[in-house]
Amino acid sequence: MQNSEQKLSTTQPLDSLIGGKWISNAKKIDVTNPVDGSTLAQVSTASIDDCLAAVDAAQNAFASWKATAPRARAEILRKSFEIMIAEQESLARLITLENGKVLSDARAEVAYAAEFFRWFSEEAVRIDGDYRRAPSGANWLMVSRQPVGVALLATPWNFPAAMATRKIGPALAAGCTVVLKPASETPLTALAIAEIMQRAGVPDGVVNVVVPSPSGPAVSAMLKSDRVRKLSFTGSTQVGALLLAQAAEKIINCTMELGGNAPFIVFEDADLAAAIDGAMLAKMRNGGAACTAANRFFVHEKIYDAFADGLTARMNALVLGDGLDAKTTVGPLVSKSQQQQVAKLVEQAKSFGAKVACGGNASTDGSFGYFPTVLTDVSFDAPILQTEIFGPVAPLVRFKDSDDILAHANNVEHGLVSYVYTRDLGRGMRVAESLESGMVGLNRGLVSDPAAPFGGVKQSGLGREGAHDGLLAFLETKYVAGNW
Ligand code: NAD
């Protein structure tokens, strides 16, 4: 792979943002370009003291931000949205450079990410309350909402812009101040968004960004600080469980957006072309590195061969390469370890009897790429079905008994999203109701929408982001019992 025009913008921030100031640190971490493993940039590592200073800065800014008129908070979010859209191309390039995803996916991410700022600028002025007479008739129940307080936001590398704005947007709309800790693989996008927010007029200390390395001790120190009142985490179930335990010590309010293992069910009456289009979207958005990625394809035997052939043809036609190259339709994975993990899962699936219809190997040109892969004849008990693949691999399972398939779909510890293809809407709705997942795509391969409540059940998380629910996650309910 040729590494094309990969210079960062000269205004790209590389330091921590604490209390409105960019704080440099002699200790740096390398940000790697997944296309060739080269170092893209060096970012200041935030020490534990820096992280605690960021929490202090957020605490100091909280009272005045909370008191800032909702309309004024909304205008800053709206302005941030407008700048992100105006600078969509340069932000998209930045995402591709540090994450590897193709430019078209990166452009879509910027649009999606910016939309969280627009949506929550509109929600900021719709924080409701309640005023009722008590059932006894003797007094009054008054309910209002107040910002939770300082929020610690931790985000993964797979959507470096959208996972940040999906948290910053509602937090600021609610009146909370934040410390954002992006994934160390992809900190540049988060820093660029923070700089955009400064230009949009966000007051000092309202948005702070730190990149500690390692993450664990710094996040623990912030959670123990007595000043963090909210933890909003997106990442793996494993790390989420660890942080929930830590947050328990100070009874910190938590929202957890964790791993997925989405079933993609194709019934015999499905519109085949639509199902294949949906499968490509559900599997290949972000090169398969999405929590919403279809991970287990259950296809009815009557339509299985046609579906497998169609999907294989589409996957085979994808061009693996440098995400900045216009010919490329799938970029490399984010890291060597991610590439190795995907390769290991495919080898293991083969040893359990799966056949490789296309792909099945890692690129050998020094990139972290893995060729789009379709595995057929995967058995119901294959371990790959119990693991979040997080790469461009589609395991296809043939099923006969439609009544039985729901139990297989629900037979995992995760429950983020499920996909169902059928022309029988009644069946589709019944299956959607019974699937153990927070979201269902019914004849749709994409569910994400800033106006919709995003989140999972079981070990996929707690709480919702986006929609009005996303705002409520940063608000406390205050009840005043009145009598006069
Ligand atoms: P990860 O759990 O390794 O990391 C997530 C964040 O936690 C990063 O900022 C990381 O630096 C930090 N972190 C890692 N170890 C930590 C520790 N010991 N203490 C404190 N912080 C720590 O996840 P990832 O590999 O970056 O992202 C992939 C995972 O994220 C997948 O499981 C995916 O499904 C999930 N994800 C979920 C959603 C969702 O909305 N449900 C969205 C995107 C990604």
* Closest residue CA from atom 13 of ligand 1: 215
Task: Kindly report the protein residue whose alpha carbon is nearest to atom 42 of ligand 1.
Answer: 291
Q: How far is the CA of 66 from the centre of ligand 1 (A)?
A: 29
Residue 233 forms beta bridges with which residues?
154, 256
| Residues 139/144/150/154 CA torsion (nearest 10 deg) | 120
CATH number at residue 402: 3.40.309.10
Q: Does some domain include residue 313?
A: yes
The amino acid at residue 470 is G
Which residue has the least CA distance to atom 10 on ligand 1? 183
Tell me, yes or no, whether 288 and 229 share the same domain: no
Give the separation between CA 399 and CA 297, rounded to whole angstroms: 10
Give the pLDDT confidence of 141-163 residue by residue, as tens digits. Answer: 999 999 999 999 999 999 999 99
Q: Report yes or no on 107 lying in a domain.
A: yes
pLDDT at site 2? 41
Say yes or no: CB of residue 209 within 6 Å of ligand 1. no
236 lines ligand 1 (CB under 6 A): yes
Ligand 1 pocket check: which of 45, 105, 158, 457 to mutate, most ligand atoms within 8 Å of Cβ? Answer: 158
CA–CA distance, 315 with 416 (Å, rounded to integer): 24
Over the chain (484 residues), the average pLDDT of each successive run of 10 is 61 97 97 93 98 98 98 98 98 96 97 98 97 92 97 98 98 98 98 98 98 98 97 98 98 98 98 98 96 98 98 98 94 93 97 97 93 97 95 97 93 98 97 98 97 98 98 97 82
Same domain, 161 and 306: no
Helix (H) or strand (E) holding 242: helix 237-248
Q: Tell me the C-alpha distance between 398 and 378, whole Å.
A: 8
For residue 68, the CA-to-ligand 1 centroid distance in Å is 32
Total of domains in the chain:
2
Which position has the token pair 């707690």? 462
Q: Looking at the structure, do residues 218 and 362 belong to the same domain, yes or no? A: no
Mutational test site, ligand 1, from 220, 231, 234, max ligand atoms within 8 Å of CB: 234
Q: Is residue 152 domain-shared with residue 286, that is, in the same domain? A: no
Residue 19: exposed, middle, or buried by beta-carbon count in 10 A (0-12, 13-18, 19+)?
middle
Q: What integer pLDDT is reported at residue 388 of this predicted model?
A: 96
Q: Please tell me the predicted confidence (pLDDT) of residue 4.
A: 42
Residue 392 has a pLDDT of 98
Question: 39 CA to middle of ligand 1, Å?
Answer: 22
Domain co-membership, 210 together with 284: no
Q: Cα–Cα distance between 464 and 478 in angstroms, integer?
A: 21
Do the domain assignments include residue 454? no
d(CA 61, CA 67): 10
pTM comes to 0.96
Indicate if 443 and 472 belong to the same structural domain: no
Residues 118 and 238 in one domain: yes
Which CA distances in Å does 342 have to 160, 333, 371? 21, 9, 10
What element of type H or E holds 299? strand 294-300
Please report whether residue 185 resides in a domain: yes
Six token digits for residue 454 = 């995003």
CA distance 172 to 182: 17
Q: Given this model, what pLDDT does residue 1 score?
A: 41
Residue minimizing CA distance to atom 19 of ligand 1: 216
- Distance (Å, whole) CA 46 – CA 48: 7
Ligand 1 atom showing the smallest separation from residue 239 Cα: 2
Same domain, 239 and 340: no
Asked if residues 142 and 480 have their Cβ atoms less than 8 Å apart, the reply is yes
287 lines ligand 1 (CB under 6 A): no
Does residue 275 share a domain with residue 232? no
Q: How far is the CA of 307 from the centre of ligand 1 (A)?
A: 33
Host domain of residue 364: 262-449
Q: Which residues contact 440 (CB under 8 A, 6 or more apart)?
A: 417, 418, 419, 420, 432, 447
Quote the CA–CA distance of 35 and 363 in Å, as a whole number: 11
Pocket test for ligand 1, best of 155, 222, 239, 334 (most atoms within 8 A of CB): 239
**Vertex 247: Cα angle to 243 and 248 (nearest 5):** 120
Residue 242 within any structural domain of the chain: yes
The CATH number given to whatever domain includes residue 72 is 3.40.605.10
Ligand 1 atom nearest residue 460's Cα: 41
Closest CA to 473 of 484, 464, 461: 464
Is 10 within a domain? no
Q: Indicate whether residue 341 lines ligand 1 (CB < 6 A).
A: no
Asked whether residue 11 is assigned to any structural domain, the reply reads no
Query: Is there a single domain that holds both residue 270 and residue 245?
Result: no
Nearest alpha carbon to residue 353 among 384, 372, 379: 379
Same domain, 190 and 292: no
- Structure letter (DSSP) for residue 9: P
Q: For the chain, state the CA radius of gyration.
A: 23
Q: Give residues with Cβ within 8 angstroms of 470, minimum separation 6.
A: 120, 123, 166, 169, 170, 453, 454, 464
For residue 47, tell me if it sits in a domain.
yes
* 321 Cβ below 6 A of ligand 1: no
Distance 236 CA to ligand 1 centre (A): 4
Give the pairing of strands 355-358 and 373-376. antiparallel
Q: Please report how many Cα atoms fall inside a 13 Å half-sphere around the Cα of residue 183, on the Cβ side.
A: 23
Q: Is the CB of 262 under 6 A from ligand 1?
A: no
Index of the ligand 1 atom closest to the CA of residue 166: 40
Ligand 1: centre distance to CA 223 (Å) = 17
Same domain, 318 and 232: no
Q: Contact, 54 vs 219, CB < 8 A?
A: no
- pLDDT single digits (tens) 35-57: 999 999 999 999 999 999 999 99
CA 255 to ligand 1 centroid distance, Å: 13
Q: What is the C-alpha to C-alpha distance for residues 377 and 23, in angstroms, rounded to an integer?
A: 54
Mutate-to-test residue for ligand 1 from 215, 389, 447, 459, highest number of ligand atoms within 8 A of CB: 215
User: Which residues are designated catalytic?
Assistant: 257, 291
Three-state secondary structure string covering 378-393: CCCCCHHHHCCCCCCE
